[in-house]
Structures are given as C-alpha cells and as structure tokens.
Amino acid sequence: MTDDADGPTAGPDADTGDTGENDVDTGDTGENDADADLSLDRFHEALEGEERPIATASEVARRLGTTQSAARDALAALVDRGEVDRLDVESDPVVFYPTDWGRLATRERVVAFPNRREIVVDRPTQYTRARLSQFAYLVDTTGTEPGTRGYLYRIRQEDVWAAPFDDADALIASLRSVLPRRYEHLEDWIRDQWRRAHRFRLYTHEDDYVVLQAASESLMGNVADQHLDDDHLRAPISETEAWVNEEAVAEVKRALYDAGYPVEDDRDLETGDPVDIDLTTDLRAYQETWVETFLERRSGVYVGPPGSGKTVAAIATIAAVGGETLILVPSRELAGQWREELLDHSTVDPADIGLYHGGQKEIRPVTIATYQIAGMDRHRSLFDSRKWGLICFDEAHHVSAPVYRRTAELQSKHRLGLSATPVRETGSEEEIYTLIGQPIGADWDALFEAGFVQEPEVEIRYVPWRDELAQNEYASADGRERRRLAAENPAKIEEIRYLLAAHRDKKALVFIEFLDQGEAIADALDVPFISGETPHRDRAELFRRFREEGVGKAEGDGSPAVRDSDDLDTLVVSRVGDEGIDLPNAEVAIVASGLGGSRRQGSQRAGRTMRPAGSALVYVLATRGSGEEEFAQRQMRHLARKGVRVRETNVAE
C-alpha cells in the first residue's frame, strides 16, 4: 500500500506489532487505579490492544494501566448496563466481549507510529480526516467502498511548515484531538519544525530594496552564509540582516528551503493596476475555504481532482485580489479555454483579457500566456516589467521542469498554482511548493463522498497477444522498441471496439502515446485523431464538436459513428489530451498506450472523466505478460491512494 517497505498497512488488519515504539494500545493512561471508570470505548481500546475480540479482566487491567480488581469491578458495571457480556471458559474463569460486536468492527480506530511520524486510521470520521488534513499528508488508502477505507497519513516537515495555525500550541492541540494519547517525541519534533518555519523572512526596506532577516546571528552565519551563493546577497546590513539581489529571490527561497528553513515572504510587492472583475458563480464551501486560505497566505497550490472547480476557485481568487493578473498555461488550447471560463464565471470585460502565445500577443489587465513564451528571453523582459498582483500557474507541475522553470522567477504579490496531482516523477513536489506555495485543497476521497465529483471506476484489462507475428517481434526486441510493440498490440483495437460497443450511449476518449498506433485506431474506428501535429484551429473545432450533447454510437457492429456532420462521440487523442482540456461530457476513457508515462499522466487521463455528475469509467489496456502490466499497476496505485476504485480483468484469449 505504501512505497515505504517499513510502513504500516492501513486497514482493519493493520500490523500494530512491535515496532520499538509505544503504540495506541500501550502505556499508562494517567488515571487513578482506585477510581477507574471503564467506558465501552475504553474497553474497545483494550480489545484493540490485545488484537482479540475478547479479553480477561487481567488483560484489560494491563492495557488500561489499572489494577485487576478495579478492572473486574468496572467490567461488572458494563455487564450490568448490558454493554458487555461475560463467558466462563476452562482456560480462564471469565472473558468479556462487547454485546454489540458490529460496533467494534465498524468504529474508527487510530494507530500512531510516532518515530516514523505516521498515523493509520481505519474508518475515519469526517472530523478526523478534516483535522489530519491540516497537518498531515495522505499517503495511501485501502478499501473500495466509502466509509470502509483505511487511511495512512505521514506528517512531513513541509506539512508542519504550511499548517494553518497561529502558533505551535494550536497545531499540537489539533494533533492531540485525533490521536489516542500524547506522544512527546512527536510533539517535540513538530515544535522544532514550527520554529524552523519562522526563522527567516524577506521584507521590503523603506528604501525599496529586499532584505533577508534571520531570527538570530547564528542563523545568518551558520545557515544563510553556508547555503546561499555569493550572488544571492549583495551586502550585509547587520548581524541578522542582508541586502538581497532581487533577481535571486527565488534561488534564496529554494536554497533555504532545502536547508530546512522555509522563508516567510513579506515583501511589499505591487498589485499593478486594479482589475474590475466580480465572480458570478456561487462557490462550494470547500472552494470558499481554498480562497480564504490563499488570501491569508498570499501563495499556494489548489490541489483537487478534475471537476472539483479549481478554475472557478482561481477566478474567485483573481476577483478577490483585484490586481493585474498573469495566467500561465501549457498550451494555446488551454489559453482559449481559460478566456471562455473567465467570461462564463465573472463580469470581466472581454477587452481586459489578453492572449499571449504563438498565435497572438496581447498584454491586458488579465493576460493568459503559455509557459514556453513567457520563459523566452525575448519576451521575458516584457513580463518582468509588469507589476503583477497575481500570477496563476495552471497545471503547476510544469514549473519544476527545466524548460518552464524560468517562469517561476516572475515575481508577484500573490502566487497561485492549480494541479490535480502535482507529483512529478523526479520527486520535485517540494520544489513546486517552494516556487509557488504550499498545497491547499480537499482530499479526493472527501469530494467523491460528498458528491461534488463523480468517482471514476478504473479497470485494468490485461489483453492477450492474438497475433503470433506481433508477439514474436516483441520477444526479440528490447528497450523502447519492446515497449512500443507491447503498446501497439493489434488485439487492443478489437478490445477498444468491444468497450465502445458496450458503452455506445457514452462519449469516449481513447488515449495513445505512439502516433502510428493513434492513426491505426482512428482509421479502424473511423473517428478523428488529435495529436500535436493537428493544427490548433482543427483541434479546437474537434473538441467543440465533441462537447456537443445528444449524440450516441451507431447500431450494428458497435463501431463509433458521427451522427451528423457537427457531432462527435469518440476521439483518439495523444498527449495533447492529458492536461487541462475541458471535455465535461467525456464519460469513458480508454488508455490504449502510454503506460510508460508518469503517475501524474495516469491521474490526468483518468481525470478526464471526473465530473460533478454522471457515470465515469476508465479502462486501461495492458498487454498481458509485458512490462505494461507493471506500469499499469503503478499508475493506478497512485489513483487508488486517492480513494479511486481500481479493479483488474483478464481478457479471454
């Protein structure tokens, strides 16, 4: 369930054995033996500690830190109240067990592993999950049905640094509210991390230059001087302050973050000219929380599944900031889509929106530009010269890629990122949060359970080789060629036909990685194929036709068909469909190839079907006996950790 081989497994059978630590089931409760008042909940805790559904009075006494006599009397009181039953057995005169067995099986259970800073929760309540989300990272989930899942949380230093509390005491109080008892070692570590997060700050001097301030002389000498390059600081001002090279602000923040000291950025940045814009769409409660949290921090990344309304929340943020805004996107299609979203959900004047990419170049109060253009030297000075009140990084995981990284150096008073899944295979999640801000968002599973986003059903279908020649080619190949041959297994076309016929009333996307395969599938199905080679105008028109409602599959052999000249119900798409393209009526996604890609790509493709209403189905085709099996399981495991249901099917020979 987790990549950490030493980590626990969330779920009813989680291993709570000897880890060299004090778990939930051990230790002194701090109660007086003489007046122990045993509640049913505390009896459940004792049973969990014993890892048995029954216990003797001596076992209960040991688990709860009281005397056997006091435990026996307390258990007798529970029996009198009808909450516990007793049974005489030969090996021990009396054992006790809950009258309501079902309650023991379904109640929330919290097990802490303080030395690993991990918390396992079975069947957590909404309260517990909300509390944990404030200071812990959801690593993994198990189970398939809402209300039955187990959750594994890890408390990382960056989670403590970004925790939304006024002081460490408030954070510790929230921690104690969900853990079964106090863990002094864990609390001491959290307090130390909290102090680290408030030891350096950037501020604007009254003479209008940037200053780095350390909390002490030793921090400036032993941390800043050792981790910052000579060109990061212009000159010392005092024993605890230094004049910062403004062009190196991003590098200063990154270097100190890597040293374990996140920098508070209190610079007096301009918001630029005011922008007249109001939101016209009602926000959901969690979106309001996102915006409020962002405005308090002035930076952050909205993290949520497709369909959770990150774009609308971003537009609400633009309206709240009210200053000149730069929106950075990875493609021209997304730039046009952003313009439409702004017009649909706000009162912004169309004349105040500018597009800046390979097709047109306009700077307006709200400018939408591609990462590639904004990072080019010949355009960079233009963007640097603006006093942006807000920079919004859509598909924020792009920021840590070398080709786009320069855009993260653009400075603004507010920095907002949007991403369904900010993880990159290089493990540079921390870099994203350093360059933009800390994560803000509800966990995916909470949105599924609340009904805000339709939870997709993901099925990995292992397709056999049915073409002996293709199988022999695969066996004799190696490296990238071997992966390509597995991806282009001819039997996948037949399987795609079968799936489309089974869902002939639904809109479907077929994802591919290799262009030859995309063209072959599109020809076989007689549907359009969209790739990076498709002209932008043609792409936009095909996406528009796909968004049209009221279409279906043709009868007969199950092949998809176009009902009339303006409607499409199936598209084959390459990587251009992975990110951000809004196709809200896509109900089925078939991943025919691309299983050598990243976990993020797997989330993006599954995410194309995550919408507020309607069914959501994702089929991942993997050639049986090839490396695709492992790739499929790795990608989908990432989705399972977010609460998405995943099942596996072997397609018949």
Handedness of CA 3, 5, 10, 11 (dihedral sign): positive
Cα 330 from Cα 576, distance rounded (Å): 10
Q: What is the pLDDT of residue 453?
A: 59
Mean pLDDT, rounded, of the chain: 77
Average pLDDT over residues 150-179: 86
Confidence of residue 53 (pLDDT cuts 50, 70, 90): low
Query: Which CATH number do you get for residue 323?
Result: 3.40.50.300
Q: What is the pLDDT of residue 243?
A: 93
If one counts every other C-beta atom within 10 angstroms of the C-beta of residue 613, the result is: 10
Q: What is the pLDDT of residue 551?
A: 44
Query: Does residue 275 lie in a domain region?
Result: no
Same domain for 237 and 372, yes or no, is no
Confidence of residue 435 (pLDDT cuts 50, 70, 90): confident
Q: Is the pLDDT of residue 358 over 80?
A: no
Total domains present in the chain: 5
Q: What is the pLDDT of residue 238?
A: 92
The domain boundary residue, chosen from 444, 462, 477? 444
One-letter amino acid of 79: V
Cα 265 from Cα 129, distance rounded (Å): 30
Query: Does residue 13 lie in a domain region?
Result: no
Query: Does residue 204 lie in a domain region?
Result: yes
Output the six-digit token pair for 564.
Answer: 């009339």
Same domain for 310 and 435, yes or no, is yes
Same domain for 242 and 153, yes or no, is no
Q: Is the pLDDT of residue 3 over 60?
A: no
Enumerate the β-bridge partners of residue 585: none
Query: Which CATH number do you get for residue 60?
Result: 1.10.10.10
Same domain for 318 and 375, yes or no, is yes
Residue, of 649 and 552, whose pLDDT is higher = 649
Query: Does residue 6 lie in a domain region?
Result: no
Query: Does residue 280 lie in a domain region?
Result: no
Q: What is the pLDDT of residue 459?
A: 86
Alpha-carbon distance values, 66 to 20, 69, 383 (Å): 23, 8, 69
Q: Which domain holds residue 157?
A: 114-196
Q: What is the share, in percent, of the chain residues with pLDDT greater than 70?
A: 71
The domain boundary residue, chosen from 196, 225, 253? 196
Vertex 595: Cα angle to 594 and 596 (nearest 5): 90
Same domain for 380 and 292, yes or no, is yes
Query: Does residue 274 lie in a domain region?
Result: no
The answer to pTM > 0.75 is no
Q: What is the pLDDT of residue 101?
A: 59
Same domain for 342 and 356, yes or no, is yes
The domain boundary residue, chosen from 170, 196, 222? 196
Q: What is the pLDDT of residue 611?
A: 44
Same domain for 92 and 139, yes or no, is no
If one counts every other C-beta atom within 10 angstroms of the C-beta of residue 235, the result is: 8
Confidence of residue 11 (pLDDT cuts 50, 70, 90): very low
H-helix segments, 65-223: 68-80, 101-106, 126-132, 157-161, 168-176, 184-196, 217-219
Q: What is the pLDDT of residue 291?
A: 93
Same domain for 238 and 253, yes or no, is yes
Same domain for 309 and 180, yes or no, is no
In the three-class reduction of DSSP (H, G, I as helix; E, B as strand; rest coil), residue 95 is classed as strand
Same domain for 248 and 186, yes or no, is no
Closest of 128, 125, 150, 148 to residue 139, by C-alpha: 150
Q: Is the pLDDT of residue 557 over 50?
A: no
Q: What is the pLDDT of residue 191?
A: 94
Residue, of 397 and 190, whose pLDDT is higher = 190
Residue, of 552 and 491, whose pLDDT is higher = 491
Residue, of 109 and 608, whose pLDDT is higher = 109
H-helix segments, 25-176: 40-50, 57-64, 68-80, 101-106, 126-132, 157-161, 168-176
| pLDDT, tens digit (0-9, with 9 covering 90-100), for 284-340 | 888 998 999 888 888 888 887 777 889 999 999 999 999 899 999 988 888 888 999
Cα 49 from Cα 59, distance rounded (Å): 9
If one counts every other C-beta atom within 10 angstroms of the C-beta of residue 578, the result is: 22
Same domain for 190 and 210, yes or no, is no
| pLDDT, tens digit (0-9, with 9 covering 90-100), for 584-601 | 567 888 888 875 444 444
599-607 and 628-641 helices, crossing angle to 10°: 70
| pLDDT, tens digit (0-9, with 9 covering 90-100), for 598-619 | 444 444 444 444 444 445 688 8
Closest of 463, 462, 419, 427 to residue 642, by C-alpha: 419
Q: What is the pLDDT of residue 4?
A: 38
Same domain for 89 and 205, yes or no, is no
Query: Does residue 139 lie in a domain region?
Result: yes
DSSP character for 122? Answer: E
Average pLDDT over residues 124-149: 70
Average pLDDT over residues 239-243: 93
Helix, strand and coil content of the chain, in percent to the nearest 5, comes to 40, 20, 40
Q: Is the pLDDT of residue 348 over 50?
A: yes
In the three-class reduction of DSSP (H, G, I as helix; E, B as strand; rest coil), residue 33 is classed as helix
Of 253-257, 409-413, 548-552, the one with minimum mean pLDDT is: 548-552
Of 354-358, 410-414, 462-466, 502-506, the one with minimum mean pLDDT is: 410-414
Cα 348 from Cα 341, distance rounded (Å): 11
Q: Is the pLDDT of residue 107 over 60?
A: yes
Query: Which CATH number do you get for residue 211?
Result: 3.30.70
Query: Does residue 5 lie in a domain region?
Result: no
